[in-house]
Structure formats: structure tokens, C-alpha cells
Structure 1
Amino acid sequence: MKELKMKKCVSAQTLVNPPRIAEDIDFENLKNLVDKHLEWTLELNKPATQVYTKPVKGCSFNMLKILANFEDCHPDTLFDVLFDPDYRKVWDSHMLQSREIGIINVNNDVGYYAMNCPPPLKPRDFVLMRSWLDTGPKGEQMLLSRSVLHKDYPHLRGFIRAHSILTGFLIRKSKNGCFLGYVAHCDPQGALPSWLVNKVTHTVGPKMVKDLRKAALGYERWKSSQPHRRKPWRFPEEMMNIPRMLITDCFEDNQPKISVKEV
């Protein structure tokens, strides 16, 4: 397949800048993206799920927003499912590899994630910095992640290094369970035409949310059967066995880049 000329996301170019830890304004921005629908197009409207898309200036890939209500699911359980690396291996059928690279502080870490893609697409991988916030009495739990570079994780042959410009989860307690707001803006890199990426996103996103709900309903039973029940994202004292790292470890690597002419 010939390489397609397409407009890459300007936002993805900011990866060469020093990464930063998410601040209050970043979490407020996530809430605004979830709650305000101006300039968003409603693509799917079902009783428990709504899917929106929005064009982004300087980028040919749309931003995706999914709002979902999970009945009979406690918000704390859903938050734990998003974090638990052992359980991810159970419910995430797309995951090929996942590693905890290191902890920056009690609310920020960096990890590696590789995922399979439908043929003939090449597998994608990410190096992601995560920041999370539990507002306690306000009843909101949020998770933000975006791509960073790391000196020990250069581009690997056989994978295309995708860029998560923004991925966010907002969880709120509801009358019968919890509400999930999911926002994603990703540049998959490679030679994929933007129309195809936007089309696939409409189906992959809702499926991920459906799988997440099913995983949340089975989490407590699974966790109770495990030899250990660690939750370092909730209990900082359990982070002692996770490598510590500095935010300065995330910078542009100087290793030769692999020419990407594949999909």
C-alpha cells in the first residue's frame, strides 16, 4: 500500500516538549469536554449510551466522546478496573503487552501499552503518562493520560508508535450505579487515511465501553479470588514495589526513527 499523504495532528508534535503533570485546570477541561456539547455531533443515541464526535483544528482526526450509564456498578469498582494491570489481561482482548514503567508520585505514573489491530493493520503501541484525581465528597473520579517519550522505550520494529493526544475518563455516582464520560483524541500514525480512522473510532470506542462495563460487573468476584489484592492507585503504601522515576526520564529519544510506510 502506498503511503498516503495526510494531515497529521499538530498536537502530536508537542511530544518533543517536556511532559508535565496534570493540574486542576486539566481536570476541569476534561469535565467541560464531557458536560458541554457545543460543536459536538451526536453520532449514536441509545438509552444508556451516547457517542459524539468533534473536529479539532489542525488535525484530521476527530475527537471522540462517549457518555454511558452503568447500572449496578459502583463508581469505585469502575475506577479500579481502569487501573488494575492484572485484570486488564483478563478483559482487554486487544492488549498484547502492558508494563508499569514507573511511579512519578502518588497520582502520576508512566506505562507501556501495546495493542493488536485488525489485519492488515500493524499493531500499535503507546508510552503513556497517567494522572488521576479522586475528589472524595464531590463524588468524581478522573483519569487523564497522554503520550510521552521515554529514554528506555524507543520505537520498536513490528509496532507503530501511536500518539494519545488526550484520553480521559470521568466517573460519577448515579442513582442506580455510575456514569462514565470518556473522551479520546488519538493519532494512530502510519499511513491510515483520516476518514477510515474516524469511521473505525465510531465502532471501536463503544465496544471498549461495552467491554469495560462487563469487566466492571465481574471485577469484585475476580479480585477476591486473587492471591494478592493490591491497589496502589488507592493505597500509596503499596507503591513500594513499583520502580520510581523522574519526569525528566520522559524526553525525546535520539535513536533513529523507523520509517513508517505501513498501515
Structure 2
Amino acid sequence: MAMGLGDVRVPDDHDFEKFRKLANGTEGWIQKYSKPSLKVWLQNTTEQNVTNVKLMKAHKVMNDVSANTMYDVLHDAEYRKVWDSNMLEGYELCILNPNNDISYYAMKCPSPLKNRDFVMQRTWLETRDEFIIFNHSIYHKELPPKKGFIRADSYLTGYLVKPMPRGCELIYVTQSDPKGSLPKWVINKVAKFVAPSLMHRLHKACTRYPAWKQKHRPHYKPWLYPEQITLPRFKPDDIMTKEDLPSDDSIEDDESEIKEADFQEDIFLDDKE
């Protein structure tokens, strides 16, 4: 059975194969953005109870970044504070095993949208041919909804990194429900600006990472060396169902009246090809 919202378990081969199929597949995808080294697609999902949440996929070729460096950058929580200007807060709470943790991520959304946050189980895998990282939302007693944020859901979000003779290719897949009452045009804006901006910023971050890492605990990489992990173990009793999740009424989540002209898309245009 594929992992769903709220499921907390160690993924099996079927879960990894599902992600690979989404990342590598072509059927049903509609291209929304195209540049020589960057493509973005959208796809309507047919899964039960997720019909209004679109799948988005981005693919970028980076000739000057190794797959190993990309994998390190995607993992390094300390460095993310340096390059991810959308992150307001992020940290790992606990681990299930050396390749699975539970983490929190709060993001700044472009005005006039309200900020979102996520609680996720994150999984990673390193093989000779690829690196995989993906997550999905779970519900944890120590991470209830927070004041000032709309708690969003990730059905499946992740990265597939493939080595190339020169550099690497990065495939980003996400199926997330931002919650609130967003107008339909927001999805197209996300595909047009947010995904390309993320890929460009990741590329720039990777080119700067080796020099940064040499000055910031260069040998500390717990995603590669499990003996360096210091996080506490996951406690099954701390998991809740979605129905048990306490509500937070401190922020109004109706964004249906937002006008497209008010959307500050310029914040995504600082990195161009």
C-alpha cells in the first residue's frame, strides 16, 4: 500500500518505485514552462480525494554541479538557512531510522498570500545510479498548528538526482495542498514562477556549497554518516490522525478574494537563465 497523509512507517520498494515513475514519466504531463535547461509540467491527479491537487514536476540540467554536491545541499539544514530565502524556520524533530526523519518547515509566501508550514516524514536513498529524497505530511503532537501559519499538506514531494558525465540532472516532483481558499490562477503562477525560482536558487546554492562547507563543519554529514545522527528516536504515541489535529483560529485562511494583479511575482525573478 502506498504511503498516504499521516502514515508513519519506513517506505518499501513500492514507495520508491512510485516516486521514480512520477519523476521519470511523460504520460499525462502538460508543459507550463520551457527553457533550454529547465522544464516545468503540471498534471491532474486521479487519486481518490486528491482530485483538486495538481502534480507539478520540474527538470533542470546542471553541467557544473555534481550529483553528490546536489544531494548534500538538499540535505544540509545549516546551509538551507543560507540559500533558502523562503524558509522562515526549519528543523528535524526525530528519526525513525538512519534514512527517515520527521521535520518541520515554515515558508514565507509571496504577498498577499499567507504563510504556510508543513510537518513531514522525510525519506532518502542513495544508490550507485541515483539519489532520492521525498516526503509526505504527518501529524505530530509536538508540532500542532502554529499562530500565523496555514498548515499545508504534502501528499508527495521530492527530488531525484541523477549523475551525468558532466554535472547532474535534478527532477523535482510535488503534489501539495496549500489549504486556505486560493483562487485557481495561483496554481499557474506557482508553475510559472515558484518552481523555476526554486531550481535556479538551488543551482546557485550548489555552486557555492563546497567553499561554504569547508568553513562550516566540513566532515559533518549525518545523511551520509549515520553515526553522526544525534536526533531522538520517533515515538509512535506522538502521532495523531488528521481528525485529532487541533485547529488554530488565529489566522483567517480565506484567500479567495485575492486579485492576480496584487500577486508580487517579482520576488521570484531574481534568478534568470
**TM-score of the two chains, using structure 1 as the length reference:** 0.88
1:91 aligns to 2:69 (yes or no)? no
Find the counterpart in structure 2 of residue 39 from structure 1.
Answer: 28
The answer on whether the counterparts of 1:104 and 1:247 sit within 8 Å (CA) in structure 2 is no
Q: 1:228 to 1:77 in 2, by over 3 A?
A: closer
- 3-state DSSP class of the match of 1:211? helix
Q: 1:25 to 1:256 in 2, by over 3 A?
A: closer
Q: How many equivalent residue pairs?
A: 248
Cα deviations across residues 181-219 of structure 1 (Å, max 9, x unaligned)?
Answer: 110111000111233234323310111011001101111
Whole-angstrom distance in 1 between the partners of 2:238 and 2:225:
24
CA displacement at 1:32 relative to structure 2: 1.3
Whole-angstrom distance in 2 between the partners of 1:248 and 1:203:
40
Find the counterpart in structure 1 of residue 157 from structure 2.
Answer: 167
CA displacement at 1:26 relative to structure 2: 1.4
CA displacement at 1:247 relative to structure 2: 4.6
Alignment counterpart, residue 158 of structure 1, candidates 134, 137, 148: 148
Alignment counterpart, residue 209 of structure 2, candidates 211, 219, 233: 219
Q: 1:70 corresponds to which letter in structure 2?
A: M
Q: 1:56 to 1:225 in 2, by over 3 A?
A: same
Whole-angstrom distance in 1 between the partners of 2:178 and 2:142:
21
Find the counterpart in structure 2 of residue 53 from structure 1.
Answer: 42
Find the counterpart in structure 2 of residue 235 from structure 1.
Answer: 225
Whole-angstrom distance in 2 between the partners of 1:24 and 1:118:
37
Find the counterpart in structure 2 of residue 23 from structure 1.
Answer: 12
Counterparts in 2 of 1:64-213, with a 5 A limit? 64-136=56-128, 139-213=129-203
Whole-angstrom distance in 2 between the partners of 1:261 and 1:116:
15
CA displacement at 1:227 relative to structure 2: 4.3
Which structure would you say has the larger RCO, counting Cα contacts within 8 Å and 6 or more residues apart?
1
CA displacement at 1:228 relative to structure 2: 5.5
The answer on whether the counterparts of 1:19 and 1:251 sit within 8 Å (CA) in structure 2 is no
Find the counterpart in structure 1 of residue 265 from structure 2.
Answer: none
1:252 aligns to 2:249 (yes or no)? no
CA displacement at 1:128 relative to structure 2: 0.9
Identity percentage of aligned residues:
39
Q: 1:37 corresponds to which letter in structure 2?
A: T
Whole-angstrom distance in 2 between the partners of 1:94 and 1:261:
19
Cα deviations across residues 130-153 of structure 1 (Å, max 9, x unaligned)?
Answer: 0111112xx211011111110111
**TM-score of the two chains, using structure 2 as the length reference:** 0.85
Q: 1:122 to 1:28 in 2, by over 3 A?
A: same
Q: 2:161 corresponds to which letter in structure 1?
A: I
Whole-angstrom distance in 1 between the partners of 2:36 and 2:169:
13
Q: 2:211 corresponds to which letter in structure 1?
A: R
